A and B are shown apart, each in its own frame.
Chain A
Amino acid sequence: MKFRDFFILIFIFYLFSYTNGYTQVNFLGKPGLVRIPKPSFIDKRDNLQFQLSYLPKDYAINNFMNRKSDEFFYSVQLRPLSWLSVNFVLTRPTDIPRIGIGDRHLDFQFFILNQKKYGVNLSAILSPALAASFIDHNSIFISRSIAISNSWSFEPVFGYGLKDNFRKPPQKSKYENMGYQWISKSEFGNNYLSGFFAGVQIKVKNIFFLSAEYDTQYINLGTSFTILKKIGVHVNYLDLKVITGQVSYKVYLDKSLKRNMNVYE
């Protein structure tokens, strides 16, 4: 990471430094395990979340330059409505020159069913066909959280990700029809969430998490915890071979500023 990137992160921390929080998320910043998403969220309060995560070259997923490299993902999540989350991901490969800012990806997660009312959590992720994103994925997944004791619970997750994306073919390709159509993701080197995936997450008091999953390619383990009361740290054991990680930071949007309402200080 360049000094500049570091400076920008620090600056974002400064801009939003008046409030904080934490939850378990996957490497793209969505509620989830290691690489797979889950259909439930811990936090009912409105928040904005920033995250920086890292994938080593051998497990890189964003193929937009047709070359693989270590990847940093900068992501931001906002849930403006109780049933909708907006996710923005910027991929920055490290060792590829002349790539501009990186691959920008936008998707929406719809929280369709929740356990309280329907017994299960059901959710879908839709990536709008913006043509330029190389980690587009569309999937649907279901889970149910089962309490073991007051503070312990575990939550199995099952899901399916489409192997094709609805989009325009790239220019200079073999396609005769250049309009919108279903095209296999693997043609763009996109193998993220293609097919069935599953995992299980153990939760202790909403602060400590253990996850195990099959993400359609690898088997991964992950754990996450909080440091300095503000920063979520995730350590993952990817493919049971390499250790990766991510750092997340959350801002509660409806929290009163103490400094505004403290009169007699």
Chain B
Amino acid sequence: MSKSLLSILFMFVLFGASAQDINELQSVLHSAGFEQELIFPMSSKEGEIVYMIGVEHRGINNPSEVLTLANSISEKLGFKQNKFVLLYKGQPLYESTIRDNFISSTNLSDTNSRDLFRKFSIKDYRLNIVIDPDIQVRFGSFENPIQSKLSLLIGSDIMLFRGFSLFTGILIPVQNDLDNESNNPKLGPTFFEFFTQVVPNHYAQLSLGLFYNNRYGIDLEYRFFPHAKRFSMGFRYAKTGFYYFPERSIFFDSLDDNLMLINLEYLFVKERISASLDFGQFLQKDQGFKFSLFKQYKNIEVGFFSTITKLGNTSGFNFTIPLFPGKLIRSKSFELRTNDSFRWEYSYSNDGVIGRDFNSNRSIKNNLRRFNSNLLNKY
């Protein structure tokens, strides 16, 4: 099998690229898990055509690996001169070139961006079903020191148009001695989310619906994120209320909790550590500061934080890891996999209200961090 594949690849190398080759490259990239593979010839360099290739891969959480994978496939199929554009929810971030295993990145020009998105089709997205454990643990009760609530969230980010998606899912309770929520399968977080690049390096995300952490409402986030710089900043405003599912019904608390946070972040490139400061008003009108350090590993992020607010002080850690085994089923238009970025946070304080936010696994503050182009060559 692999021999015949190799000989096919060899033939492609011999005969150079053509329109048919672009289709071939698209289909090989697609079967490797890419969901957008937007390819167009840009110019000619030393007799070879330079291609611009927009790629998005939702199953790999490291942009550096996404680029390396796309490049190695393209080179094997005879595409030697490539400029890659990383996409996040279908929106372009920046342009990258790989030479001698070194990735260099620049901003994407408007013309190229327009040309690229003539090739965009929402239908190229797979129905991506993700299995994600939802774990809540409270330590410290004397009678039952580990109170926990374990559920399985089977959810999907359904792409509706470029940058815009509906996340929804089913939450299947496995075990619960933490609270009195019902033990029937129930609706998981369900919300609309729109992500866009306002102008180069400025990003915004707006979400609306039933979020993670039993919060419903509206969530707006803006971020200034120059990909090649060490400093980034942003703000987040959310108006939310509490919701939960008692037996066979849904309960909504009033929508009157304002979250307003400003974030400043600095990346120490060599150490791959981001120092991050959030200040303002957290959930439940708690005001104060949260200082975090995040270290990036190949597919893992580990963070430590300390929070000082009106309600008290706490510290803790969080991590984001890819779950085993990853891809379970993948076809042209469907994929079933475990979460590539499972996020969990532990806080020393039992009360759990000090400096809390919600939906943190969806925030662009956390999700763009790995896209800093200084990090791409540091793993």
> Closest chain B residue to A101 by CB distance?
B139
Task: Report Cα–Cα, A127/B242, bound state, in Å.
Answer: 39
Question: Residue A42 at the B interface, CB < 8 A?
Answer: no
For chain A, residues 75 to 95, give those with C-beta under 8 angstroms from any C-beta of chain B.
78, 80-81, 86
Are B321 and A15 in touch, CB under 8 angstroms? Answer: yes
For chain B, residues 64 to 88, give those with C-beta under 8 angstroms from any C-beta of chain A.
65, 68-69, 72-73
Q: In the complex, which of the residues B69, B298, B324 contacts A14, with contact meaning CB atoms closer than 8 Å? A: B324
Question: Residue A254 at the B interface, CB < 8 A?
Answer: yes
Are A80 and B141 in touch, CB under 8 angstroms? Answer: no
Task: Report Cα–Cα, A261/B64, bound state, in Å.
Answer: 11
Chain B contacts for A205, CB-based, 8 A: none
Are A256 and B65 in touch, CB under 8 angstroms? Answer: yes
Question: Residue A148 at the B interface, CB < 8 A?
Answer: no
Question: Residue B269 at the A interface, CB < 8 A?
Answer: no
B interface footprint on A95-119 (CB within 8 Å = 1, 0 otherwise): 0001111101000000000000000
Q: Identify which of A18, A256, A260 gathers the most chain B CB atoms within 10 Å of its CB.
A: A260
Question: Residue A227 at the B interface, CB < 8 A?
Answer: no
Known: A257-B326, A264-B2, A264-B5. A101 touches B297 (CB 8 A): no
Chain B contacts for A263, CB-based, 8 A: 28, 32, 69, 72-73
**Count of B interface residues, CB-CB < 8 Å:** 39
Question: Residue A186 at the B interface, CB < 8 A?
Answer: no
Q: In the complex, which of the residues B140, B271, B326, B342 contacts A101, with contact meaning CB atoms closer than 8 Å? A: B140
Chain A contacts for B220, CB-based, 8 A: none
Task: Report Cα–Cα, A98/B293, bound state, in Å.
Answer: 34
Task: Report Cα–Cα, A129/B31, bound state, in Å.
Answer: 54
**Smallest distance from the beta carbon of A3 to chain B beta carbons, Å?**
12
A interface footprint on B131-147 (CB within 8 Å = 1, 0 otherwise): 00000000111110110
Q: Identify which of B143, B299, B322, B348 gathers the most chain A CB atoms within 10 Å of its CB.
A: B299
Chain B contacts for A48, CB-based, 8 A: 302
A interface footprint on B282-307 (CB within 8 Å = 1, 0 otherwise): 00000000000101011110101000
Question: Residue A240 at the B interface, CB < 8 A?
Answer: no
Question: Residue A178 at the B interface, CB < 8 A?
Answer: no
Question: Residue B208 at the A interface, CB < 8 A?
Answer: no
Question: Residue B60 at the A interface, CB < 8 A?
Answer: yes
For chain A, residues 234 to 265, give those with C-beta under 8 angstroms from any C-beta of chain B.
253-257, 259-261, 263-264
Task: Report Cα–Cα, A4/B323, bound state, in Å.
Answer: 21
Chain B contacts for A8, CB-based, 8 A: 146
Q: In the complex, which of the residues A17, A46, A81, A98 contacts B143, with contact meaning CB atoms closer than 8 Å? A: A98
Chain B contacts for A14, CB-based, 8 A: 324
Question: Residue A154 at the B interface, CB < 8 A?
Answer: no
| Inter-chain contact total with CB atoms closer than 8 Å | 73
Are A100 and B142 in touch, CB under 8 angstroms? Answer: yes
Chain A contacts for B293, CB-based, 8 A: 80
**Smallest distance from the beta carbon of A16 to chain B beta carbons, Å?**
7
Chain B contacts for A81, CB-based, 8 A: 271, 273
> Closest chain B residue to A255 by CB distance?
B298
**Smallest distance from the beta carbon of A148 to chain B beta carbons, Å?**
35
Known: A100-B139, A101-B146, A259-B327. A15 touches B342 (CB 8 A): yes
**Count of A interface residues, CB-CB < 8 Å:** 29
Are B321 and A16 in touch, CB under 8 angstroms? Answer: yes
Are A17 and B65 in touch, CB under 8 angstroms? Answer: no
Q: In the complex, which of the residues B28, B68, B146, B298 contacts A254, with contact meaning CB atoms closer than 8 Å? A: B298
Task: Report Cα–Cα, A4/B73, bound state, in Å.
Answer: 46
Are A102 and B65 in touch, CB under 8 angstroms? Answer: no
> Closest chain B residue to A97 by CB distance?
B142
Chain B contacts for A261, CB-based, 8 A: 65, 68-69
For chain B, residues 26 to 45, give those with C-beta under 8 angstroms from any C-beta of chain A.
28, 32
Chain B contacts for A257, CB-based, 8 A: 298-299, 322, 326
**Smallest distance from the beta carbon of A97 to chain B beta carbons, Å?**
8
Question: Residue B325 at the A interface, CB < 8 A?
Answer: yes
**Smallest distance from the beta carbon of A134 to chain B beta carbons, Å?**
16
B interface footprint on A1-12 (CB within 8 Å = 1, 0 otherwise): 000100010000
Are B32 and A102 in touch, CB under 8 angstroms? Answer: no
Chain B contacts for A100, CB-based, 8 A: 139-142, 145
Are B323 and A78 in touch, CB under 8 angstroms? Answer: no
Are B300 and A253 in touch, CB under 8 angstroms? Answer: yes
Task: Report Cα–Cα, A255/B273, bound state, in Å.
Answer: 18
Q: Identify which of B142, B273, B324, B348 gathers the most chain A CB atoms within 10 Å of its CB.
A: B324
Question: Residue B102 at the A interface, CB < 8 A?
Answer: no
**Smallest distance from the beta carbon of A76 to chain B beta carbons, Å?**
9
For chain A, residues 1 to 52, give those with C-beta under 8 angstroms from any C-beta of chain B.
4, 8, 14-18, 46, 48
Instruction: Return the 8 tightest CB-CB contacts between A and B, nearest first.
Output: A253-B297, A101-B139, A98-B142, A101-B145, A259-B326, A254-B298, A17-B324, A80-B295
Further pairs besides A257-B326, A259-B327: 16, Cβ < 8 Å: A15-B342, A46-B297, A78-B302, A80-B271, A98-B143, A100-B140, A104-B348, A253-B298, A254-B298, A256-B65, A256-B299, A257-B322, A260-B59, A260-B62, A261-B68, A263-B69
A-B contact pairs, 23 of them (CB 8 A): A4-B146, A15-B321, A16-B321, A17-B324, A78-B302, A86-B304, A98-B142, A100-B140, A100-B142, A102-B145, A104-B348, A253-B297, A253-B298, A253-B300, A253-B302, A254-B297, A255-B298, A256-B299, A257-B322, A259-B326, A260-B62, A263-B28, A263-B32
